[in-house]
Structures are given as structure tokens and as C-alpha cells.
């Protein structure tokens, strides 16, 4: 892997290495080998995650981070270049951003700010597997910084904060019986109809926080039930995902879901708090100004929340429209890959400060 090649070619190389969550070893090996060839970085490996740090004694340290994994393939590899976009799995979410960060790591040996580059595994799956989470728990000093930038797709515009995510199983119970004598039992799958009706009738909030409108959502994302083709089922589970605005704590979000499904048994299967925009923090305000002044809310969950927990203000900024993340027609604008690299390079080198 040649980190001195242009950002478009590097994005294509990264994307053509399949790295579905839990299968990141090959890409981590290649990235590690490339980083260890850079004398100005101190590199450490943590599972299939990598941390590379400058040690120049600058007055400020920033983290630039991105995940190496992708969602499963959907007949969208290898990458296709049509001259305007790169098309394929990971181009948007988020190997374009990783390519930008790797280019900066390789070609900016003396930035005006000390930089910690972090490339980590298992962001697209349950939080327990998240590589950044594991680093934060085992060696939080490696992530200590004044500010952090998640190179998540943001369409080349700063996205502030992030929404929280909560996933629960809503459980319905019944009684088994032979389907030929169904009146002798109670059908748990039929009982789930009320759960779905409550979801259909649900009206999500659209709160405004720091001038940014967030949109909540409560949706069924899976349903399971059934014993055999001739058995009335005694249990069914509707998996429900609540994407909640960052003005709710995780506890408040869970209380709300319990209220919506009052009377039902709930089992929490995944949960992560959101992060407030934090645009009043000087580091965040300065970064927004350096990137052009435009800022949007982040609707998905990102590891901005992880940095917020560590006391490090953070924003999302990277190439690619997040609306195309996880889609079969995922793509990233070639011009945006280049402009994101140019802006990040100018900011890390201090060029913005000298021209403002």
C-alpha cells in the first residue's frame, strides 16, 4: 500500500480490500506495514486497530480517526471509477475518509498540531466489538487530545454531535399448541401486531439544539418467531431501533421506549448515548470556521460520542454523502476526496491561522 499515491487511487485500493466487520485483519496488516515505514510516527497495534502519533511537542494535539470495516457486500465490489465518482462498498462509509487521513499521516511529517491518527475495527457492529472503544478502555492516554475529527462521511461539511442509538427486543408471549387445534393455544406472533401498530402510529420528535434540527426515529428493524410449520408459537420478538436526539440521555431514551411499549417485556440488545453539538467549544468553532463555516446535524451515531465521553470535543467531517452509506449504489465524489484532503492539510499545517 503506497500512501504517497493520490487520494483517489488510495481510496480505490482500500475499498478493494474486503473488510466486512470482524474480518479486518488483512486491511489492518496492510495499513500497519505502510504506517511503520514512516519515521515521524510512533505506531502501535491493538487487535485490528492502529494508532499512529506524532511527537513534536506542539501546544495542541488533535485526533484524526476512521474505521476500517464495512457493512456486508451487496454486489458492489470491486470499485468502479466513472471519472466523477468512485462507486463501491466503503467508498463513502468510510474508506474515502480513511484514505484522506492516511495521506495526511504519510505526507505531513511536521504539522502545526501534534496528530494522533487512529484506524480501528468493528464500528459497524455492536458497541462491545468497537475497536475505538477497546482502545479508550485499555489505554485512554493514547486518545488524549484537545480536539478530534471523525472522518465519517458528511458530504464535505462539518456535522456536529450525533444521535444516540438504542435497540431493544419487544417480546410477546403466548402458548404453544398444534396448529390444527389453534384455539388450544395463544399465538405470540399475532400478539406482535399491537407492537407494530404502536410503531406505525408513533410521531417522532424534531428538536432544535444549538440551531440544528435533529430527527428522531423509532422503527422495527427485525422480527423473529415460530417453532415449526404445525405449531402455534409461544414467543415472538420485534427488534426496535430508537435513534434519539442528543438532548436525551441514554436513560431517558430507555424510559421513553418503555413508555411507548408499556405492558410489554423489553430486552436491551445494544445502546450508545449521543453527543451534543458542542459548537460553543473554541476548538469546534475554530474547526468549523476553517472548513468553511457550514455545519449540519449528524443523524447517525458515530464515535464522536466516544470522544465526548473522554472529554475530547469532536465533530464529523469527511467525503461522501451519508445518505448513500450502506446502500448498494454507495459512491463518493472524486472532487470531494481531494477537497477534504486539501482543507484538512491546510488546517493541520496551520495555514488557516496564517491567512485569517
Query: Annotated catalytic sites, by residue?
Result: 69, 123
User: Strand locations in 123-209, DSSP E?
Assistant: 147-150, 158-160, 164-173, 177-178, 208-209
| 102 CB-near residues (< 8 Å, 6+ apart) | 3, 10, 14, 31, 34, 35, 117, 119
| 342 CB-near residues (< 8 Å, 6+ apart) | none
Q: Are 17 and 30 in contact (CB under 8 A)?
A: yes
Backbone angles phi and psi of 104, in degrees to 5? -65, -40
Q: Is the peptide bond before 195 cis (omega within 30 degrees of 0)?
A: no
Q: Tell me which DSSP letter residue 183 carries.
A: G
Q: How far apart are CA 95 and CA 118, in angstroms?
A: 13
Consecutive H or E run containing 117: strand 114-120
Q: Are 211 and 218 in contact (CB under 8 A)?
A: no
Question: Which residue from 195, 253, 236 is spatially nearest to 219, judged by alpha carbons?
Answer: 195
Amino acid at each position: 500500500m503506497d500512501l504517497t499515491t493520490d487520494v483517489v487511487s488510495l481510496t480505490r485500493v482500500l475499498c478493494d480490500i474486503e473488510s466486512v466487520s470482524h474480518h479486518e485483519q488483512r486491511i489492518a496488516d496492510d495499513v500497519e506495514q505502510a504506517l511503520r515505514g514512516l519515521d515521524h510516527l510512533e505506531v502501535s497495534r491493538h487487535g485490528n486497530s492502529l494508532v499512529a502519533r506524532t511527537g513534536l511537542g506542539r501546544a495542541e494535539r488533535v485526533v484524526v480517526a476512521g474505521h476500517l470495516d464495512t457493512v456486508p457486500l451487496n454486489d458492489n465490489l470491486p470499485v468502479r471509477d466513472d471519472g466523477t465518482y468512485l462507486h463501491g462498498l466503503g467508498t463513502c462509509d468510510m474508506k474515502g475518509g480513511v484514505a484522506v487521513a492516511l495521506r495526511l499521516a504519510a505526507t505531513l511529517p511536521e504539522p502545526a498540531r501534534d496528530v494522533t491518527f487512529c484506524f480501528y475495527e468493528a464500528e459497524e457492529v455492536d458497541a462491545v466489538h468497537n475497536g475505538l472503544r477497546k482502545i479508550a478502555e485499555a489505554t485512554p492516554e493514547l486518545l488524549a487530545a484537545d480536539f478530534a475529527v471523525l472522518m465519517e462521511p458528511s458530504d464535505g461539511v462539518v456535522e456536529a454531535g450525533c444521535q444516540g442509538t438504542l435497540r431493544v427486543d419487544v417480546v410477546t408471549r403466548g402458548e404453544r399448541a398444534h396448529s390444527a387445534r389453534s384455539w388450544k393455544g395463544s399465538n405470540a406472533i399475532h400478539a406482535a401486531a399491537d407492537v407494530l401498530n404502536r410503531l406505525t402510529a408513533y410521531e417522532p420528535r424534531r428538536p432544535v439544539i444549538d440551531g440544528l434540527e435533529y430527527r428522531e426515529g423509532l422503527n422495527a428493524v427485525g422480527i423473529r418467531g415460530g417453532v415449526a410449520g404445525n405449531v402455534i408459537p409461544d414467543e415472538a420478538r420485534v427488534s426496535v431501533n430508537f435513534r434519539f436526539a442528543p438532548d436525551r440521555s441514554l436513560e431517558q431514551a430507555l424510559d421513553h421506549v418503555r413508555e411507548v411499549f408499556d405492558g410489554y417485556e423489553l430486552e436491551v440488545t445494544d445502546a450508545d448515548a449521543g453527543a451534543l453539538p458542542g459548537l460553543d467549544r473554541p476548538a469546534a468553532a475554530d474547526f468549523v470556521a476553517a472548513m468553511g463555516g457550514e455545519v449540519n446535524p449528524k443523524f447517525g451515531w458515530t464515535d464522536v460520542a466516544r470522544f465526548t465521553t473522554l472529554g475530547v470535543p469532536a465533530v464529523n467531517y469527511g467525503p461522501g454523502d451519508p445518505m448513500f452509506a450502506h446502500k448498494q449504489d454507495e459512491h463518493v465524489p472524486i472532487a470531494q476526496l481531494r477537497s477534504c484532503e486539501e482543507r484538512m492539510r491546510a488546517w493541520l499545517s496551520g495555514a488557516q491561522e496564517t491567512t485569517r
